[in-house]
Structure 1
């Protein structure tokens, strides 16, 4: 992808970086100065002095402290606070490569239907391409003429730029699904509304995973919780039933199901099944993965 943006170019005033975090003070102090646009940090009720430390060391950062952990809904609050036309998401352990926020804005402006741009994500000091990006680049949905790269029905939030208009129109990240796996429901709703999501290999995000991470089994349980709640909100009941049957067979999935039960009433209140056109794309993805 060609672009006139270069490292060090001024960043358009219509983009901000929104970061959500909890109890990762040292990670934030290292990564926040790397962002080349105004930053909104939404803190999910940290107890390690994050808010005070960031305010003292980086007064230019807008810090939004929350009284409780609302998961990825914190990003929605950050987007509303930023008030910019575009928002780039980053985690406390990720940042956009020099010049690439400006490049991403150019791509978004050139493709008005594009709601989410998923950047190439390089992991760790060794700069290893995230394996999920390899899958995104091979999306069987192809590359429509009005999108800058392969069409998607999902993305990686720590390396994505969103069009605020589209993001907020479908509710942003919600307080039910929380984290992780929060991208699925948002992606389905954007597709249902006619917006596009695309992978753009010419824009880069660096991700150096924090040492303060949940154990793999805990994360798997949380992902299944999100998957089940998203299904209740957006999938036909037969598909929900099949997913529940899969979940009861093994430990992490079963625990995810039990955790989802607490949010079931809230998910049911938000239930609005996706149209057949989006379900058809999901079938294409499922067949390609089989």
Structure 2
């Protein structure tokens, strides 16, 4: 266990159920000393206060639609050496934080970012990326298992994912945290560019993994269809103003970014998630955001002072061993009950339930503290695998367990 202490900051607005599931996962982190800071609206804080470990949380009320400002409030309360960030619609693997902060034992490391799995709990949304002065991200070649230390390439920054990142608190304090001009979108990317200008190194940590569900918000519905592009447009303008040194190129860049957004909207319309009028309305909102962002005044980013409160150690519920339960579909209910009981006793439990089918696999975290993987014995888990493959139960179980080795 590293001697560094971590402060985990979670920002939430309008998603109390997602926040509670995230906190259920945070409450079961292993092999790390940490505190938990929740910056949320009144509904979110009310939900957090219903949890059995509510007294161990640092709670900060904030009810404006500005994730940068909310994160800065979390940083101000953080008393750890490293500040980690995760979204309220994400759940961390049990060893996420231990992996994420370990590279900070190296004094050269100012920031770190891990891998992010998508809604099926298996496929990756993001791995390692760099970002340029237009805000576009590009894959980075890193070791898929070991930590890779990256220095910012010329004209780019090493990208950290907002739902899975950590930064030294002293560095965040020195540069003023997040720029509140980025109310949503490109907020951490702007931070990455400022870190790059300072010459700071970033660690990419593949085994620091979270599961990101994309919960509904004011900008997308439950089907992940876009409902409002205003802040994407506004943040695009602010980002170009801050980081792209050639104003004469901005109109062409905006046109290109708008075309990409239009293509995304049309794809969602073809899927039946949007109507043609929704496409037009979203593009109008994007254009309005671009215009508003051009005149959004630069906000002064002051140095963040030391936390006014002491480090509040969070007593993790993961006090027992890591355990595996597995069985066929017909024994699923019994196994889930047994898994829940073991989790209640402090175990980190993975439950595998296979049917005699070729169904695709999915992984989800249950509120009672159990990681459940379901699917067909002959179906694929990794989406790059064959559609159907013959397995015996024992070999399939061994294969799936290997996927989370070192993570859980």
Give the TM-score, by structure 1 length. Answer: 0.75
Instruction: Indicate if the aligned counterparts of 2:66 and 2:183 stay in contact, CA closer than 8 A.
Output: yes
Kindly state the Cα deviation for residue 115 of structure 1 after the two structures are TM-superposed. Answer: 2.1
Write out aligned runs for 1:112-131 (5 A). Answer: 112-130=107-125
Give yes or no for contact 1:224–1:253 (8 Å, CA) kept in 2: no
Q: Which one has the bigger helix percentage?
A: 1
Q: State how far apart, in whole Å, the 2-side matches of 1:76 and 1:52 are.
A: 21
* Paired residues for 1:1-290 under 5 Å: 5=1, 14-35=5-26, 36=29, 37-43=34-40, 45-46=41-42, 49-57=43-51, 58-110=54-106, 112-130=107-125, 132-133=126-127, 135=129, 138-139=139-140, 148-151=148-151, 152-212=157-217, 214-215=219-220, 216-218=225-227, 220-236=229-245, 237-246=247-256, 252=282, 255-268=285-298
Aligned Cα RMSD in Å? 3.0
Compared CA separation, residues 118 and 88, structure 1 to 2 (3 A)? same
Matched residues in 2 for 1:84 and 1:103: separation?
Answer: 16
- Partners of 1:248 and 1:126 lie apart in 2 by 31
- What is the DSSP-based 3-state SS (H/G/I as helix, E as strand, rest coil) of the residue aligned with 1:203? strand
Distance 1:262 1:202 in 2: 40
Distance 1:84 1:134 in 2: 25
Q: Measure the CA separation in 1 of the matches of 2:242 and 2:139.
A: 28
Measured in 1, the distance between the counterparts of 2:197 and 2:283 equals 28
Offset at residue 138 of structure 1 (A): 4.2
More strand by share: 2
Please tell me whether Structure 1 or Structure 2 has the larger radius of gyration of its CA atoms: 2
State the Cα distance separating 1:105 from its structure 2 match: 1.8
**How far apart, CA to CA, are the structure 2 residues paired with 1:25 and 1:107?**
32
For residues 163 and 256 of structure 1, what CA distance do their matches in structure 2 show? 34
Q: 1:232 to 1:122 in 2, by over 3 A?
A: same
Consecutive unaligned residues in structure 1, runs of 5 or more: 6-10, 271-290
Structure 1 pair 28–248 and aligned structure 2 pair: CA distance change class (3 A): closer
In the comparison of the two structures, how many residue pairs are matched? 253
- 8 Å Cα contact 1:115/1:162 also seen in 2: yes
CA positional deviation for 1:207: 2.0
**Normalising to structure 2: TM-score of the pair?**
0.55
Structure 2 partner of 1:280 = none
**Contiguous gaps of at least 5 residues in structure 2:** 131-137, 152-156, 263-279, 301-408
Preserved contact between residue 180 and residue 219 of structure 1 (Cα < 8 Å): no
**Corresponding residue SS for 2:226:** helix
Partners of 1:191 and 1:253 lie apart in 2 by 32
